[in-house]
């Protein structure tokens, strides 16, 4: 199977969010399954600087401008990488979407329409590369026009479109239609039009043979007004073609047995050694080194999506219990100050590190007993998976990927359980779930079962990649029967 994977960011070359991690990991896992996957990415200034050996393999015309395709490989792999080299659109420093003043680049419509038009030429083997994919896999709004433009081509490959973040939609004035060379056939309310504007993401949602998001529960949730960002209607209309595939995690980097950042590595059979990491964490944060007091951690952006306000409201009640808390994150200053306030008031119970610190995040995952993740919405989420891999019990709001990756320790499900969940984003519900965790912690045999259940789960990209292969086959079948 031949797959053209198109994305606007890719770790380690360029990253603003989870999409980059997926683009850096999924093609690799697909290749390990013997798929012929190739990647198309814009040649941003920083990307070109990292790939000085990339050489020109094609010259095209896109939106009336001459552009080039450069060829190299995804770093550290044998995966062919094509860079869309169009200096007037992409030779700019810093963030791929934002100008130095923090606003979107004013020509983002042209920049990513150009990516889509180039993707179309490669997909139809019109770029002179001598390669024709069976499937084009686009990601997020920046690639949304590809399925739309391809839908007008009789000899086209199948298309798959993945939504990593529905909140960003690529909405532009209708006046850009001509400039972007968008065919009239696509311009109607059931097509690219969204409240009289052009919506790139609708191109993917309406026209792709298959659509998916990064967890099955989030795929259902976005069909409702609460999570749908105004697109719930069109997503519901396409629900038969919409599914969810959980992201994987890097199981080599996140492996407690080999993690170089841990004071004491451990595995499922040496969980007593996890205690050494707890002691080190308590010491680092000046918390009393009590092995029997459960240590609860939070790592993440300090924003309302992550339920930080809920944690702040629940803290006073929770601090009446013998618990310790460690927070690592940065974000809204109100939340930062709120957490720092509690750490000053209860320095023996609450510790806070404001900032981004990857090493510390591994040490916290290893040293904590419980991990708090009360996100209001969570397309997939990573930390709850890292936690389970590190024998740390997640306490989660049952939404999106959190609902799909954490098995709640309800009385009838204990043999399979890996964490604790609650249904309503309310202080009382969060407190109740933490209390359940606190009670379980006092039952060592049961606790070990939960830890080992989590550590035994398969969160690998290989598992996700197999599901993507099944999705590609479905898209190819849909295409054939269309
Ligand atoms: P989101 O992409 O919505 O921020 P995820 O849970 O999917 O949330 O992924 C966030 C990633 O960033 C995780 O790997 C998390 O550990 C990491 N992270 C977030 N904040 C910090 C921080 N302050 N220090 C270290 N790592 C962090």
Tens of pLDDT, residue by residue over 9-47, are: 999 999 998 899 999 999 999 999 999 999 999 999 999
Plot region of 340 (φ>0 → left; ψ -120 to 50 → alpha; else → beta): alpha
- CATH architecture, domain defined by 271-458: 3-Layer(aba) Sandwich (3.40)
Give yes or no for a contact between 436 and 418, defined as CB atoms under 8 angstroms apart: no
pLDDT, residue 17, reads: 85
Does pLDDT of 480 surpass 90?
A: no
2-248+462-481 domain in CATH 3.40.50.2000?
A: yes
Q: How far is the CA of 161 from the centre of ligand 1 (A)?
A: 24
Above 80 in pLDDT, residue 482? no
Which of 24, 261, 299 for a ligand 1 pocket mutation test, highest count of atoms within 8 Å of Cβ? 299
pLDDT at 146: 98
Indicate if ligand 1 lies below 6 Å from the C-beta of 361: yes
Tokens for 292, please give them: 């029997």
**pLDDT at residue 463, rounded to an integer:** 97
Indicate whether residue 401 lines ligand 1 (CB < 6 A). no
400: Cβ below 6 Å to ligand 1? no
pLDDT (0 to 100) of residue 409: 96
Rounded to whole angstroms, the Cα distance separating 279 from 233 reads 51
Relative orientation angle of helices 427-441 and 308-318, to the nearest 10 degrees = 60
Q: Where in the chain is the domain with CATH 3.40.50.2000?
A: 2-248+462-481, 271-458
Averaged pLDDT, 319-329 = 97
% of residues, the chain, pLDDT over 70: 100
- Nearest to residue 398, comparing CAs of 440, 432, 366, 365? 432
Residue nearest to atom 12 of ligand 1 (CA): 300
The finding on whether 316 has its CB within 6 A of some atom of ligand 1 is no
3-state SS, residue 186: helix
Ligand 1 contact via 357 beta carbon (within 6 Å):
yes
Nearest alpha-carbon partner for 371 in 339, 326, 409: 326
Distance of CA 279 from the midpoint of ligand 1 (Å): 24
Please indicate whether residue 356 or residue 193 has the higher confidence score (pLDDT). 193
Residues 212 and 242: their CA atoms lie apart, in Å, by: 5
Q: In a mutational test of the pocket of ligand 1, which residue from 22, 332, 361, 371 has the highest number of ligand atoms less than 8 Å from its CB?
A: 361
Cα separation of 402 and 385, whole Å?
Answer: 9
Residue indicated by tokens 């026009």: 145
Where residue 204 falls among pLDDT bands split at 50, 70, 90?
very high
Tell me how far the alpha carbon of residue 234 lies from the centroid of ligand 1, in angstroms.
30
Average pLDDT score over residue span 363-382: 97
**Atom 26 of ligand 1: nearest residue by CA position:** 358
Whose C-alpha lies nearest to ligand 1, atom 19? Answer: 300
Distance CA 142, CA 204 (A): 10
- For ligand 1, is residue 150 a contact (CB within 6 Å)? no
Q: With pLDDT > 90 as the criterion, what percentage of the chain qualifies?
A: 97
pLDDT in tens, 105-127: 999 999 999 999 999 999 999 99
Cβ distance 119 to 129 under 8 Å?
A: no
Task: Report the pLDDT value the prediction gives residue 481, as an integer from 0 to 100.
Answer: 79
CA–centroid distance, 18 to ligand 1, in Å, is: 9
Expressed in angstroms and rounded, the spacing between residue 300 Cα and the centre of ligand 1 is 5
Mean pLDDT on 365-389: 97
Nearest 5°: CA angle at 196, between 193 and 201? 35
Instruction: Identify each DSSP E strand in 34-189 by its residue range.
Output: 36-42, 55-62, 65-73, 80-85, 135-139, 158-163, 171-173
Exposure letters 164-181 (e unless 16+ CB within 10 A, then b) = bbbebbbbbeeeebeebe
Reduce the DSSP state of residue 198 to 3 states and report it: strand
pLDDT one-digit tens code per residue, 152-165: 999 999 999 999 99
CA gap 86, 115 in Å, rounded:
10
The residue among 174, 170, 175, 156 whose CA lies nearest residue 205 is 170
Q: Which atom of ligand 1 is nearest to the CA of 383?
A: 6
405 lines ligand 1 (CB under 6 A): no
Report how far residue 92's alpha carbon sits from residue 98's, in angstroms, rounded to the nearest whole number.
10
Contact present, 386 and 358 (Cβ < 8 Å): no
Whether the pLDDT of residue 458 is over 80: the answer is: yes
Cβ 173 vs Cβ 116: under 8 Å: no
Q: What's the distance, CA 392 to chain centroid?
A: 21
For the whole model, what pTM was predicted?
Answer: 0.94
| pLDDT confidence of residue 410 | 93
- On the CB side of 363, CA atoms within 13 Å amount to 20
């Amino acid at each position: 199977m031949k797959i053209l994977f198109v994305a606007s960011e890719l770790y380690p070359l360029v990253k603003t969010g989870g999409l980059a991690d997926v683009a850096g990991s999924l093609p690799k896992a697909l290749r390990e399954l013997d798929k012929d996957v190739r990647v198309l990415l814009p040649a941003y200034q920083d990307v070109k600087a990292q790939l000085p050996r990339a050489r020109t393999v094609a010259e095209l015309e896109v939106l009336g401008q001459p552009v080039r395709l450069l060829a190299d490989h995804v770093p550290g792999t044998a995966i062919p990488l094509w860079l869309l080299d169009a200096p007037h659109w992409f030779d700019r420093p810093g963030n791929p979407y934002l100008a130095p003043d923090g606003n979107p680049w004013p020509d983002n419509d042209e920049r990513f329409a150009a990516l889509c038009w180039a993707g179309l030429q490669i997909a139809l083997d019109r770029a002179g590369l001598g390669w024709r994919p069976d499937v084009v896999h686009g990601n997020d709004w920046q690639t949304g026009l590809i399925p739309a433009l391809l839908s007008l081509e009789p000899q086209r490959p199948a298309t798959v479109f993945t939504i990593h973040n529905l909140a960003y939609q690529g909405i532009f004035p209708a006046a850009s239609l001509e400039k972007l060379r968008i065919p009239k056939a696509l311009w109607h309310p059931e097509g690219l039009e969204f409240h009289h504007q052009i919506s790139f993401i609708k191109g993917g949602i309406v026209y792709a043979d298959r659509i998916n998001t990064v967890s099955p529960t989030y795929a259902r949730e976005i069909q409702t007004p609460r999570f749908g960002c105004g697109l719930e209607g069109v997503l519901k209309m396409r629900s038969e073609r919409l599914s969810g595939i959980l992201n994987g995690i890097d199981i080599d980097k996140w492996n407690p047995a080999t993690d170089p950042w841990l004071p004491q590595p451990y595995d499922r059979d040496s969980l007593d050694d996890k205690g050494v990491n707890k002691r080190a964490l308590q010491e680092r944060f000046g918390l009393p080194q009590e092995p029997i007091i459960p240590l609860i951690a939070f790592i993440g952006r300090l924003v309302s999506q992550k339920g930080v306000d809920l944690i702040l409201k629940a803290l006073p009640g929770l601090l009446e219990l013998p618990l310790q808390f460690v927070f690592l994150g940065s974000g809204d200053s109100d939340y930062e100050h709120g957490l720092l306030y509690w750490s000053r008031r209860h320095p023996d119970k609450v510790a806070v590190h404001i900032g981004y610190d990857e090493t510390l995040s591994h040490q916290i995952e290893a040293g904590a007993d419980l991990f708090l993740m009360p996100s209001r919405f969570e397309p997939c989420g990573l930390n709850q998976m890292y936690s389970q891999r590190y024998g740390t019990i997640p306490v989660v709001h049952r939404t999106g990927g959190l609902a799909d990756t954490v098995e709640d320790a309800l009385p009838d499900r204990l043999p399979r359980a890996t964490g604790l969940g609650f249904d309503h984003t309310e202080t009382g519900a969060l407190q109740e779930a933490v209390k359940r965790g606190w009670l379980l912690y006092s039952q060592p045999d049961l606790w070990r079962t939960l830890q080992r259940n989590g550590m035994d789960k398969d969160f690998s990209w290989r598992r996700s990649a197999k599901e993507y292969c099944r999705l590609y086959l479905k898209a190819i079948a849909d295409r054939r029967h269309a």
